Amino acid sequence: MSCISGLGEDEVNSFFESSPPLKNMEEIVQKLNAFIHLNSSAGGRRRRRIVCVTSGGTTVPLEQRCVRYIDNFSSGNRGAASTENFVKAGYAVIFLFRRGTCQPYSRSLPDDPFLDCFQFPDNTNIQVNASHVEAVKMAVMDQQAAVAESRLLKLPFTTIYEYLQMLRLIATALKDVGPCSMFYLAAAVSDFYVPWKSMTEHKIESGSGPLDIRLAQVPKMLSFLRTYWAPKAFCISFKLETDSKILIEKATKALRKYKVHAVVANELSTRKEEVVVVSSSGNVVVRCDSEKPESIVEDNLIRLIVDRHSTYIKEFST
Ligand code: PMT
């Protein structure tokens, strides 16, 4: 495997110019504009803060008619749990998620075997088994309320091409919301990809020996998001490492380099118990509440992020 390095504006432009265009771009733009209009002051009825939560891993196809792909690890749990907490805190959420990953309000439902939740006492009725009634009721009610109140817009992606094009569309659409908008970038985004034009159309044949693939570097879009796409938005990025010894150093470097407002640093094996919020005002360790068995790290994490966002909005307007 070898990489083509060297990043900048040219690389970003060429990434987008050579990407296969989104199939449903008009529909996405229309949904986005309607959602933002309803939730921002421009709509006249409600004025809510709007957060874009990205969630799940992007894929890198190896063939245009894709059979094989490279994947980035993320179950989508962090993004889904954070989305629920942002809605609870009064935000409208644009949930940009990888198809098939964990969804808001579904985390407490058994995914395997999900159908064991239900039974048919006769041919006309479906019932939820007693052991799952509470979880299903809460999931259905909370999800329906969030959608009915226009607090949740879900937009799915699969590939790195779709993810970055959609992120750019969202950032552009949110530009006028300014400091009341936030980007919470929990998705695991590929650093390397096969440029569309140099990708083989059909399934790679397996009969010709070892596979030699040349991967180009995906331009880091954080700088572009901060500088051009949504310069007034509050921006939280993530840093995932498997070696805890380098985690905080890498997160601190990312904070300075990309000029985001905070970096949430997490180590793969402990990510559900603990994260460190790295920012210019110091590092804060965030954990779940040990006395509350139901507590998850996102309850305290989102409380902290929302507080920081409030301070940012106040400082912005003075
Ligand atoms: O989904 P779970 O199983 O619950 O796990 C959650 C998580 C561990 C995936 C999540 O908490 C997390 O850490 N997500 C970010 C993982 C990641 O991709 O880290 P990174 O070091 O590769 O990227 C750092 C930041 O740069 C990210 O915010 C990413 O959005 C951004 N990035 C990455 C690549 C790229 N080309 N452009 C970018 O802007």
Kindly report the protein residue whose alpha carbon is nearest to atom 14 of ligand 1.
Answer: 186
Give the pLDDT score at 2: 41
Give the pLDDT score at 45: 59
Q: What is the mean pLDDT of each run of 10 residues along the chain (318 residues)?
A: 54 90 96 95 73 98 94 96 97 97 88 80 88 89 92 97 97 95 98 92 88 90 93 97 96 97 97 97 94 92 98 92
Q: Are 56 and 101 in contact (CB under 8 A)?
A: yes
d(CA 93, CA 186) in angstroms, rounded, equals: 14
pTM as predicted: 0.93
Choose the residue to mutate in 239, 242, 257, 258 for probing ligand 1, maximizing ligand atoms within 8 Å of C-beta.
Answer: 239
Give the pLDDT score at 317: 83
Q: Is the CB of 77 under 6 A from ligand 1?
A: yes
Kindly report the protein residue whose alpha carbon is nearest to atom 9 of ligand 1.
Answer: 74
- CATH annotation of 2-104+147-232: 3.40.50.10300
ipTM: 0.95
Kindly report the protein residue whose alpha carbon is nearest to atom 23 of ligand 1.
Answer: 239
Choose the residue to mutate in 5, 11, 240, 263 for probing ligand 1, maximizing ligand atoms within 8 Å of C-beta.
Answer: 240
Distance 34 CA to ligand 1 centre (A): 28
Nearest-5° Cα angle at 60, 59 to 65: 105
d(CA 247, CA 306) in angstroms, rounded, equals: 24
Q: Is the CB of 271 under 6 A from ligand 1?
A: yes
Give the pLDDT score at 4: 41
Q: Is the CB of 238 under 6 A from ligand 1?
A: yes
Distance 188 CA to ligand 1 centre (A): 4
Query: For the chain, which residues make up each domain, given as ranges?
Result: 2-104+147-232
Structure tokens at 236: 């939280």
